[in-house]
Structure 1
Amino acid sequence: MPLFLGRLASANRAAYLAALCLVAIQVGIGIVMKTAQSSGGYRFSPTASVAISEFFKWLLSVAFFAWECTIRAQQGTPPKSETRGYSVIPRDDHEFDDIDVVGATKPNRPARLTIRLYWQYIRSEITARTRWELCNLALLYVLVNNTIFACYNEADPGTIALVKSSGTVITALVMIGTIGASVSRMQWLAIALQLCGLLVTQYTPGSGTTYTPFTYMLIMFHVFLGALAGVYNQVLLQRESCSMHANNMTLYAAGTLFNLVGHLLVRLVSPEEPTFFHGFDRLGAILVIVSNVFVGLAITAVYKYADAVIKCFATALATGILLYVSTILFHTHLGFLAVPGTLLVFIASWIYIRNPPPPRPAESKSAGRCSSSFAATMGRWPKTSVLGAFLQTMLVVILLWVPDITLREEDDDGSHSVLLDSPFRNTVAFVRWNHAIPERIPAIMKYDPFFHTMHLSMRDSVKSEPENFLNMTHDQHVNTGHPQEPVAKTMKLILEHEPDVDGMLFFHFDAWVTPMEFMGMDMTRMAIPMDGGPNFRCYETIPTDKWEHAQQEDLFTAVGRAVRLQPPELPDDGEVVPSPRRYSKEKRAGCRGWSDIYYIPRRFFADYIFLVERVFHDTFHEMSVATMMHMIDRTRSRTPFTSFIDPMPCWGSCCSKNPSEDALLWHRCGHKLDLRSDRAKLHWDRIDAAAFQVNRTNSGGVNGTTARDILV
């Protein structure tokens, strides 16, 4: 620590400024990449975004190289006399006088840069072989830049930054295999500490890892590609004494072209892919491009004005900020071991940089087998190598953004079906009407292919039955403010007669749900909208607003009764507390939230039923549902740092209406939608198309029983 403080004390102002810029850009790009998403995806094409970013990088490189060539011309330095495979550069110094340069009669006299002279500088700067190798490097960066979008689709910015900070082992292995680099014993120790720190941050006792193994593999694949591209770029820059800006011009020009081709191929395979400029009228999409353009400049400035240690700590600071911001902006849950694990990762990074291996004698250095083999291949067949790499890269890009194309198979009649399961295949959809509107039922039944069973809750829906009639597919509950009562009764039927059902999704008929966009949802956790209104929040005193003030007094009375009750027995699954003595009593015990859409997993049915029957049967549902979910969560969690409630990103609120076309298409759920409007047709067309993907029709459910079967 004293050594680091001494380094900071002696660092110049430029190093501080470069490091701060890097921190700001890395934090900004993490937030921008995540906030630019809508309903777990991007409303613009990621391949188009990368192509546009590469184009602007190319423009900057052109400007920087022009500035460099202006200085060369003023110093009287002509283009390189070596033709490097071209015949347009004069070989005789006297021929330089004939080039259209004002005031240049000799190579060492000042001159003014013209377009012709600038072109001569460009063509003479890089060899033909290096141009082809830069094309290969551009293909690597195509994968790097596309996989980072895929990573942000799967994880939060803090986790991505932390895993990337822990990717030193991948970088070390790449450098050993490609350029024959060596790693000291202390560096291997630092790598081991980094991996331990990463495991500590991402693993929570009782609930497992934060994300799926696929997510971590995807981020590691991105880190591997970045390490490979960085080493390759370093080799190309060090091999020849050419301008970095000239290299970048070729690199970014090829990157623009390759990403454009990738976008066209994705559009060809998947017509649903947004067009090239679609979605870039939004500030978030524009900021994604701007941040991707300038992040490279910030890293270059840090290496120029500071050193690798300053960059390491700048990255560590940015990672810490992103981890904290992710919990606020993106509702990311951090376990109680996240802070010590993150500190361990940062300390290990510092140890790695401060303990490099001793330099080897020049005669003992080798380029590494992989690097030598690749160089030999490029020297013999440069065009063939680039073509092979291009085909492989385009295939990976297509697989990244059209993940379901490999799931299609041809049936006996020549048609194609998609072998996809609905995420709600074992879920009951409980659809609630506050009024008798039977003409809306046929539209709602379009959801039937995606759910185990459709349950319709509407008064007078089965005219031959009494008002209190309820079975697996119907109930006629009248009280519009307390739908939790028929929900609890339906849950009891499920527990008694439907062992295959693993949860219930409740939503009002005028809400919209796009089932296939819930792929990846953790079906063992509760979910409720966190945005819109009323926001999900808990409090210890009654707020002085206009939102059902009188009923909130009843809510606190109900909470007081609930905390004196012993919860029902649940099986011990290693994650949920099986038999606490009392429901959890916290100061912030009364809650309210937007409950027009919510999800309850089967393992919490018993708690829901118990609380409704004993306490919350006559409490307004916008307060009772949120309070019950909060009490279940606090009672069943083994530690105060874990939660069983996930935010559900839905459009609107309890009282919103008339969503825009973009809101409808870019949100997987929302409230409310007029089923008679043209917008509703847009939604149902999408539902019909998705029903084809699950290889079922709209005339029968998964278990063969539909609400229409007994509809009168």
Structure 2
Amino acid sequence: MKSCLSHFLNLSISVFKMGRLATLWSRSYNPAYLSALCLVVIQVGIGCIMMSSQTGGKYTFSTSSSVTISEFFKFLISSSLIIRACQRDAADPTQNHEAFPISRVSDDERKYTEEEVESERVIYAHETGRNNRTLSAAYIATLDKVSVENRFGFAKLALLYALINNTIFVAYKLADPGTVALIKSGVILITALLMVFALNSDISKVQWIAIIIQLCGLVTTQYRPETGSSYALSTYMVLIFQVTISAVAGVYNQSLLKSDQASIHAQNAILYGCGVCINAMVHLTLSYYTDSEPGFFEGYTSTAAYLVIVSNVFIGLAITAVYKYANAVIKCLATAVATGILLYVSPILFGTNTSPLIVPGGLVVFISSYLYMEFPAAKRPVVTLTEERKGNRPFNFTSADPVLRAPLLAAFTAATIFIICFCETMQIPDRDPPAEIDTLHSPFNSTIAFVRWNSHHEERVPLIKKYEPFFHTLHFSMPSYIDSPLKTEFQNLTHDNWGDGLFPYVQIARTMRYILDQPKNESLPSNQSAADITGLFNFHFDAWVNPMDFAEEDYTKMWMAISRHGDGIGGGPTFVCMTKRERFGGWQGLLGDRNWHYALLHALSDLEAAGTDFRFNPREWCVGWSDVYYIPRHLWTDYIYLATIFGSRGVFHELAIPTIIHIIDQTRRQRELSSIVNWLGDCYGGCCSEGATLDDLLEHRCGHKLNYLGDQNIVATHFQRIDYAASLLGTKNMLQEVQVLPDQPRNWTEYTQTLSQEALTAYHVAFSKVPLNQTMSVNVPPNFVFNQTGLEPPPTPEELKKQEEDRLQKIENDKAAEAARKAAEDAQRIEELMKAESEQKKLEEKLAEMMKAAEVERKKAGDQTPGERNTTNFQENET
């Protein structure tokens, strides 16, 4: 702070030397245009300084202390001017001494400029008759020449300037510098009304027309066809309040200047002295009632913070110098140029969104301001100070009664402090308008991409960097990528040298922990520091990812790509959790001579003995493809702990990562039957698949692998798609108008009301042709003659030849199939005949045996035949 004080003193001395340089400037340059150039530079500088001094939309220093310090140095400058004038008067009482050779501006010019000069009213004049007094006595005597009534008037004026100088910080929190400058310089209506009703000034018809045109221009600059307005209503209320107070202060300032013949240096000293006291009380009040208010000298850690003070101290001197050599018209043009520059640089430097109508609306504002100043009303006869009654002074809202004057001033002071404290502590809305424009942005804009190389291939880095616009940060994990004494242990936010591709999850856990340990950097814009990262997305460098296809995913869940097949040529491994290897016995790690899962079982035993809150079966392990997965930040601590346990046992990553995700899912899910894992089933390939075809690439949003040594057309197609998607980021969503939001359901009647008459008629015609009473006869749709629609192009000769070959081949195939069928039928018939003959032979043999047995029985029965035996038995029964 001491260096800052010395800097201010040096600048103060340089101000006194400017008078000597004025003559030199006038000889070499056009002073009017040079002063206008200075005004442009100063106004642009102030707008940029006020924005760049913010960190994350807030000021790191106390704004009330900044204003207090500025007022204090203004007080010192005014006092030094009084002392300087006293010394010159003592040395030569007959000489007209000017500390700075700047003449008074005319009343007509002053009424256009009161808003700009505001509290910077260091307008220099001389005083005489102090040669016989001591320096301190002369200083006090100069102050005593200001009447008591005017002292209270300057105290009231200091209250207004306290509101102005403190709310300007709030204005720059809410809006961009260009908008603040445009509204601040464009609202002539308020000043004109005050001039008419407070000072009884005249406004010409042309000026009233210019005011109306200017209001239309201002509304145009803030209009957006998509949203209606550029900022929230509260933002415009703050800006209008700030401009209104500025206009009131300017008019009241003019009244005080014309009502007293005391030294202007003395008036300034009283004004700034009151300002120091009022702003100091504001700071003490904020410090008492809010915990977030920085200390008086805290937060001045950047050059911009000091420049805020410097600009507030010397802006008045600079504007006064401009009015010495220029006029109101040049001032208006300089302000227009400065505002135009601020409107242009605000989106570039500060990322603000401007209305597409800002250019035509701004031109209307500037032209109307020019017309207002070019066609003033006719001048009235000059009224001297003695002819003007002080009772007619505007804003004389403090009683002249000495008994009531002080209590009322104290009440107004308390009200001013309350308003400032309210503005400083109110909830600041976002700079974006209430109805935000739907622009395309990456769903991974707060996600770190962890890209893994198992071997050193630095030549692939330029292509992988094309993913950069879609992610918060790209982290490259590659063996020997960074030359560091730490070798494989080296890591930072964007790189590491991890060398073991069998256990990459250990390095991922280290990166997660590194990010979690990073404090939030308040000096960076939103979503720029490591503390703003919300998740980690891991994929191999030879995998492909189409980031925009993940916009509808749930970023609070874990994701894992799942390979649906184990085809033996690169697919898989399929995600499976088991307690017996037979469930996935075909995987190489579970073969009897490998048993990779034993290390995992040991790690699970260690985890069980650790006494954590994880829910898991110590005899269950999981296998799965682990090249593409996502972990949200709120689950990183679980991942880090489990990865450390598994890494200590050397668990292979295709066992470790699926099991880690499975344990976290079982432990952190909020409902028993609802998983917090999103399975990415549409990722192509698997751990060791060969290069994908072009169709595979275009039909899947992610996959493995992209063969950089294979077909370069496939590689180029993917990254051309990535470049095109990156070019759309930040642009308007062209599908916004046809979107149907889930919270805005529509019934059928409401939907038909949105259709055109042609569309509604086409629907009714189609509905009348729908067969509502038809039943299915066969389980196939009807066939159509080839090219019945006429949409297909005629076949080429090669295609006709191929069709004929296919037709002949089909005939041959049909003949062969028919012959095979007949041969099969003949073979079956012969087999059936042979079987029938065999059965007949067996039947005959059995019949012969039966007849032979019957003959033997007959002989045993007396050589009677069965008929003879029946006859004999019948006769016996009759008897």
Give the TM-score normalised by the residue count of structure 2. 0.45
1:631 paired residue among 728, 736, 739:
728
Alignment deviations for residues 299-342 of structure 1 (CA, whole Å, 9 cap, x no partner)? 22223332222221121111111111112211233343222211
**Structure 1 position 151 matched with structure 2 position 171:** yes
State whether structure 2 residue 480 is matched by structure 1 residue 383: no
Instruction: Tell me how far 1:372 sits from its aligned partner.
Output: 6.4
Preserved contact between residue 165 and residue 345 of structure 1 (Cα < 8 Å) = no
Is the Cα contact below 8 Å between 2:53 and 2:305 reproduced in 1? yes
Partners of 1:316 and 1:346 within 8 A in 2: yes
Q: Which residue of 2 aligns with 1:694?
A: none
Distance 2:54 2:223 in 1: 26
Please state how far the C-alpha of 1:397 moved relative to its aligned partner: 1.4
1:283 alignment counterpart: 303
Shift of residue 122, structure 1, vs aligned partner: 2.8
Give the C-alpha shift of residue 71 in structure 1.
Answer: 3.0
Q: Evaluate the alpha carbon distance shift between residue 70 and residue 196 of structure 1 in structure 2; reply closer, same or farther with a 3 A threshold.
A: same
Instruction: Indicate conservation of the 8 Å contact 2:83/2:135, yes or no.
Output: no
- 2:354 matches 1:329: no
- Aligned 8 A contact 2:143 2:266 in 1: no
Residue of structure 1 aligned with 2:556, choices 455, 461, 464 = 455
- Number of the residue aligned with 2:59: 42
Counterpart-to-counterpart distance in 1, 2:167 and 2:29: 36
Pairing 1:175–2:272 present: no
One-letter amino acid of the counterpart of residue 134, structure 1: F
Whether 1:262 and 2:285 are equivalent positions in the alignment is: no
Deviation of 1:15 (Å): 2.8
Q: How does 1:460-539 map to 2 (within 5 A)?
A: 467=575
Counterpart of 1:257 in 2: which secondary structure? Answer: helix
> Could you tell me how far apart the structure 2 residues matched to 1:259 and 1:477 are?
66
Q: Give me the whole-angstrom Cα distance separating, in 2, the residues matched to 1:561 and 1:346.
A: 58
Q: Matches of 1:477 and 1:432 in 2, distance apart?
A: 23
Of 166-175 and 289-298, the range deviating more from structure 2 = 166-175
**Partner Cα separation in structure 1 for residue 88 and residue 213 of structure 2:** 48
Superposed CA deviations along residues 215-255 of structure 1, whole A, max 9, x for unmatched, are 11111111111111111111111101122111111111111
Deviations along 1:103-129, whole A, 9 cap, x unmatched?
Answer: xxxx99994874334334333321122
For the pair shown, the structure with the greater C-alpha radius of gyration is 2
Distance in 1 (CA, whole Å) between partners of 2:144 and 2:729 is 71
Matching of residue 222 in structure 1 with residue 239 in structure 2:
no
Q: 1:634 to 1:277 in 2, by over 3 A?
A: closer
Corresponding residue SS for 2:93: coil
Secondary structure, aligned partner of 2:351? coil
Q: CA deviation at 1:45?
A: 0.7
Secondary structure in 2 matching 1:636: coil
Separation in 2, partners of 1:22, 1:312: 10
Q: Classify the secondary structure of the residue corresponding to 2:300.
A: coil
Counterpart Cα distance in 2 of 1:132 and 1:148:
25
- 1:160 equivalent to 2:183? Answer no
1:336-355 aligned at under 5 Å gives the runs 336-355=356-375
| The one of 1, 7, 13 aligned to 2:30 | 13
What is the alpha-carbon distance in structure 1 between the residues aligned to residue 728 and residue 141 of structure 2? 71
1:397 matches 2:414: no
Partner of 1:202: 222
C-alpha distance after superposition, 1:472-501 (max 9, x if no partner): xxxx99766675xx99xxxxxxxxxxxxxx
Residues of 2 paired with 1:37 and 1:238: CA distance? Answer: 39
| 3-state SS, counterpart of residue 203 of structure 1 | coil
Q: Is the 8 A contact 1:183 1:357 kept in 2?
A: yes
The residue aligned with 1:305 is 325
SS at match of 1:169: helix
1:31-51 per-residue CA deviation (whole Å, 9 max, x = no partner) reads 011011100111111111111
- Residue 18 of structure 1, CA deviation: 2.6
One-letter amino acid of the counterpart of residue 631, structure 1: L
Counterpart among 185, 193, 201 of residue 205 in structure 2: 185
Distance of 1:256 and 1:273 partners within structure 2 = 18
3-state DSSP class of the match of 1:279?
coil
Secondary structure in 1 aligned to 2:397?
A: helix
Match of 1:67 among 78, 84, 88: 84
Distance in 1, matches of 2:256 and 2:157, equals 9
Letter in 1 for 2:39: L
CA contact (8 A) 1:269 1:402 kept: no
Separation in 1 of the partners of 2:129 and 2:411? 47
TM-score, normalising length: structure 1:
0.55
Residues 338 and 128 from structure 1, CA distance in 2 versus in 1: closer, same or farther, beyond 3 angstroms?
same
RCO greater where, 1 or 2, for CA within 8 Å and sep 6 or more?
1
Seen in structure 2, the aligned counterparts of structure 1 residues 211 and 111 have a Cα distance that, compared at 3 Å, is: same
Deviations along 1:638-662, whole A, 9 cap, x unmatched? 99xxxxxxxxxxxxxxxxxxxxxxx
Change in Cα spacing, 1:431 to 1:20, as seen in structure 2 (3 Å) is: closer
Q: Does 1:248 align with 2:268?
A: yes
Q: Matches of 2:635 and 2:359 in 1, distance apart?
A: 41
Note the alpha carbon deviations across 1:516-541, whole angstroms, 9 max, x for none.
Answer: xxxxxxxxxxxxxxxxxxxxxxxxxx
Shift of 1:370: 8.2
Alpha-carbon distance between aligned partners in 2 of 1:400 and 1:191, rounded to the nearest angstrom? 29
**Structure 1 CA distance, aligned partners of 2:209 and 2:411?**
38
Q: Deviations over 1:540-595 (max 9, x none)?
A: xxxxxxxxxxxxxxxxxx9x999xxxxxxxxxxxxxxxxxxxxxxxxxxxxxxxxx
Aligned to 1:418: none
In the alignment, is the contact (CA less than 8 A) between 1:432 and 1:509 conserved in 2?
no
Tell me the CA shift for residue 26 of structure 1.
0.8
Distance 1:110 1:299, change over 3 A: closer
Which residue in the other structure is 1:139 paired with? 159
- For the residue of structure 2 that corresponds to 1:199, the secondary structure is helix
Q: What's the counterpart of residue 684 of structure 1?
A: none
Shift of 1:368: 10
Amino acid at match of 1:394: I
Q: Distance in 2 between matches of 1:457 and 1:305?
A: 68
- Partner Cα separation in structure 2 for residue 113 and residue 15 of structure 1: 40
Classify the secondary structure of the residue corresponding to 2:556: strand
SS at match of 1:204: coil
Q: What is the identity percentage for the equivalent residue pairs of Structure 1 and Structure 2?
A: 38
Distance in structure 2 (CA, Å) of the matches to 1:126 and 1:182:
30
Q: For 2:149, what is the secondary structure of its paired residue?
A: helix
- Name the CA shift for 1:196/1:626 in 2 (closer, same or farther; >3 Å): farther
Pick closer, same or farther for the CA change 1:59–1:334 going to 2, 3 Å. same
2:49 corresponding residue in structure 1 = 32
Structure 1 residues 246 and 615: alpha-carbon distance in aligned structure 2, compared to 1, 3 A threshold: same
1:362-383 Cα deviation digits (max 9, x unpaired): 6899989882652655777331
- For the residues of structure 2 that align with 1:292 and 1:638, how far apart are their CA atoms? 48
Asked if the contact 1:155–1:211 (Cα under 8 Å) also holds between the matched residues in 2, the reply is yes
Q: For residues 161 and 118 of structure 1, what CA distance do their matches in structure 2 show?
A: 41
The whole-number CA distance in structure 1 between the counterparts of 2:347 and 2:45 is 15
Q: Any conservation in 1 of the 2:86–2:139 contact (CA below 8 Å)? A: no
Instruction: Please give the alpha-carbon distance, in whole angstroms, between the structure 2 residues aligned to 1:612 and 1:290.
Output: 59
Cα separation, 2, equivalents of 1:636 and 1:137: 50
Residue 181 of structure 1 and its aligned partner are, at CA, apart by 2.4
Unpaired runs of at least 5, structure 2: 1-25, 96-126, 429-442, 451-504, 518-530, 535-553, 562-573, 578-622, 638-691, 707-714, 737-879
Cα drift, residue 628 of structure 1 = 3.7
For residues 389-442 of structure 1, what are the alpha-carbon distances to aligned partners after superposition, in whole Å with 9 as ceiling and x for unaligned? 10111101111122269xxxxxxxxxxxxxxxxxxxxx9999889658699899
* Structure 1 letter corresponding to 2:277: L
CA distance in 1, matches of 2:48, 2:167: 17
